Amino acid sequence: MEKVISPTDWDFGERTTSIVKMASGGRLLGSDYKVLVKRAGEEFASKVRDIDINDDQVPVHVIAMGSTEGYNANRNGDGFKEATLKQTHKTFEKNAHVFRHHKNKDPDKRYGQVKLSFYNEPMRRVELLLALNRTKSAADKYGGFQADKEQELLESGKDLGVSMACKVANDVCSSCGNTARTRAEYCDEDDCISKTGDRRGGCKHNLTKVCEDGHVLHVDNPNPLFFDISSVFRPADRIAYGGVVDYMSKAASGEVLGGAALAEAYGISPPLTVLLDSITDRRVAKQLKIAYQLAELEDDESIGDQDLSRAVDPKYRSIQDLRPLGALGSTQMAEGLSALARQKVALCLRDFLRLSGHEDEQIASVTEKVARALPGVYNRLISSGNLVEKIQANPFTPSSNLASASQRAWANKLASDFSLDRAAVQQRIWRSAINQIDRPTMLQPSEKRAHALSDAELALAQSFALYKLAFLSAVETDLQLTQQLVIQENYIIN
C-alpha cells in the first residue's frame, strides 16, 4: 500500500518549508547559523554545516512529519510512531528525490535531492534538508530540471506545498488492530471493536473520528519506506489530475479519505529500484522490470506513428486451433505457452479470451469492450499497488519445462504468420504494404484512460496484460522490438 503524507496535515505552529540562508560556497555561518538553530535545533544545524551545498543549489529545510506520540495522527488519519520514524526516516536519503506532483518513476526528472534526513528528538518530528536545482546549468550538473517555481515561492516568503510518498506492507487500525494491505481491507462498523469492547466505527468510513473516550481513530503505519518528496501546485488540467480533483472534492465535503486514497488518486507507485530491493524471486523481478518498460512505451507520443502496427493487426492474428494448449490452468497449457513463447508467438486478445473460457458467441463483443481498456494498462497495473502479487498469481505463465514434441511442431508452424520475431514481422509488413492493406487505426497515448468499463472488463484487460508480461519474460532475444509490438497491438482500434 502506498501513502501520500503532507507536512501541513500536522500542526507544527510554523511554516513547514524555509530556505536555509548560507554564505557563498555553501558555508553556514554567523546569523544564518543562529536562524537555523532557532528553527531546527543545534544538532540539525551542526549536521548541515558538514554537508556540501553549492551556490547553484537552493538549500531548503522541511519539517516533514510528526510522531503520533508528539502530535497524534495527522488530519488524514495516518499515524507514525516515534520508534518507527527513528528506524525508517533515513529511507528518505536512500530512495527519495524531489519531484513535482509525485511523477517519480524516472529519477532523471527530479528537481533536487534529499541531502539529509533527521529525527528531531526534542520536537519529536522528522526534518529534511533538500538541495533544489537553482539554475538550468545546475539541473544539467546534478540531473533533472530547474526548480524555478519552487525557488520563486520560497524567495517570496511563501510556504512551498510539499507532500511525501511512502510504501507500507500494511497499516493497522488504532482501535481494533485490524491489519489492512489495501483500503478495501479496512475495518467497518460491525468489526471494529476495541480490546475494551468499544465500537468506534471502523477506518473504512470514520478515520479521524473522535470517540467518546477521546481516542482519535486512525491507522498506524509500521515500517514505512519513503521514496518521494514532491512540490505540489494546484493542478491546472482537470483531466490530467482528475483523480486528485475528485479526492479534493470529497475532502472538501467533509469525508476523510486518508493517505492511501490520495496515493490512489495520484496513481502513485514506488520507483522500480525501490520495489526490486525487496524481491528475491528473479522471475518476478524480471517481469516487474518489463512492466515499467512497457509503461514508459505507453507514454511515448509516437506510438500511433509507427508502421509496426501492420504486423500485429488483430484482424489477421487469430489462431484457429488452440487445442494443443489444453485446459486452462493445466501443465499442458503452461508448456504450450512456453512453446509459443520460444517462437515469439503471443496470443492476441481474441485468442486469450477463448483460452480463458469465453464462448465463441461472446468473443466479438467482449473483445471490443476489453480492447478499450488496453491502452495505458501497464501504467494502471503499476499504480494498483499489488503488481508483485498479481505476477505471482498469474495462471498464464509459460512453463520452464520443455514442451512436448507435438506442441513444439505446432508452434513452429504458426511462426511465419504470428511470430514477433524481427524477420517474420518484416515479412508481414511488406506483404501488408504490397497488398495495399490499410494500416490499422491507432489511438494516441492521451486517449489511454479507460472510461465506462465494468470491473469485469478491466479485470480481463489486466489478466491479458499479465499474460503478455509472462510471455515477454520468456523471450530471449530482440526484447525491445517485441515490447514495442506488444504495446502497438494494445493501441489498435479493433
Per-residue confidence in pLDDT tens, the chain, 494 aa: 899 999 999 999 999 999 999 888 778 889 999 999 999 999 999 999 999 899 999 999 999 999 999 999 999 999 999 999 999 999 999 999 999 988 888 888 999 999 999 999 999 999 999 999 999 999 999 999 999 999 999 999 888 999 999 999 899 999 999 999 888 899 998 888 887 777 888 898 889 998 888 889 999 999 999 999 999 876 444 334 455 656 555 555 566 779 999 888 888 888 888 888 878 889 999 999 999 999 988 877 666 556 788 888 888 888 889 999 999 889 999 999 999 999 999 999 999 999 988 887 888 888 888 988 898 899 889 887 788 889 999 999 999 999 999 999 999 999 989 999 999 989 988 988 898 888 887 776 655 454 567 888 889 999 999 999 999 999 888 888 899 899 988 888 76
State the Cα–Cα distance between residues 391 and 382, nearest whole angstrom.
Answer: 11
Compute, in degrees rounded to 10, the torsion defined by CA atoms 252, 253, 259, 260: -130
Let me know: does 2 contact 181? Beta carbons within 8 Å: no
Let me know: does 16 contact 7? Beta carbons within 8 Å: yes
pLDDT value of residue 451: 54
Give the chain's mean pLDDT. Answer: 88
pLDDT value of residue 468: 96
State the Cα–Cα distance between residues 443 and 451, nearest whole angstrom.
Answer: 14
Q: Largest Cα–Cα distance of the chain, in whole Å?
A: 82
Cell numbers that stand for 443 in this block: 489511438
pLDDT value of residue 394: 92
What's CA 235's distance to the chain center, in Å? 19
pLDDT value of residue 310: 84
- Identify the CA nearest to 205 among candidates 79, 77, 81: 77
Let me know: does 216 contact 208? Beta carbons within 8 Å: yes
State the Cα–Cα distance between residues 58 and 92, nearest whole angstrom.
Answer: 18
pLDDT value of residue 324: 94
Angle at the Cα of 55 from the Cα atoms of 53 and 61, rounded to 5 degrees: 50
pLDDT value of residue 10: 95
The domain locations on the chain are 2-167+224-241, 279-490
pLDDT digits (tens, 9 = 90+) for 136-163: 999 999 999 999 999 999 999 888 999 9
* Helices 282-298, 479-490: crossing angle, 10 deg rounding: 60
pLDDT value of residue 241: 47
- Identify the CA nearest to 339 among candidates 252, 249, 433, 406: 406
State the Cα–Cα distance between residues 153 and 89, nearest whole angstrom.
Answer: 26
Tell me, letter by letter, the H, E, C secondary structure of the chain. Answer: CEEEECHHHCCCCCCCEEECCCECCCECCHHHHHHHHHHHCHHHHHHHHCCCCCCCEEEEEEEEEECHHHHCCCCCCEECCHHHHHHHCCHHHHHCEEEECCCCCCHHHCCEEEEEEEEECCCCEEEEEEEEECCHHHHHHHCCCCCHHHHHHHHCCCCCCEEEEEECCCEEECCCCCEECCHHHCCCCCCCECCCCCECCCHHHHCCCECCCCCECCEECCCCEEEEEEECCCCCCCCCCHHHHHHHHHHHCCCCCHHHHHHHHHCCCCCHHHHHCCCCCHHHHHHHHHHHHHHHHHCCCCHHHCHHHHHHCHHHCCCCCCHHHCCCCCHHHHHHHHHHHHCCECCCHHHHHHHCCCCHHHHHHHHHHHHCCCCCHHHHHHHCCCHHHHHHCCCCCCCCCCCCHHHHHHHHHHHHHHECCHHHHHHHHHHHHHCCCCCCCECCHHHCCCCCCCHHHHHHHHHHHHHHHHHHHCCCCCHHHHHHHHHHHHCECC
Let me know: does 191 contact 91? Beta carbons within 8 Å: no
pLDDT value of residue 435: 87
pLDDT value of residue 173: 95
State the Cα–Cα distance between residues 462 and 439, nearest whole angstrom.
Answer: 26
What is the identity of the amino acid at 108? D
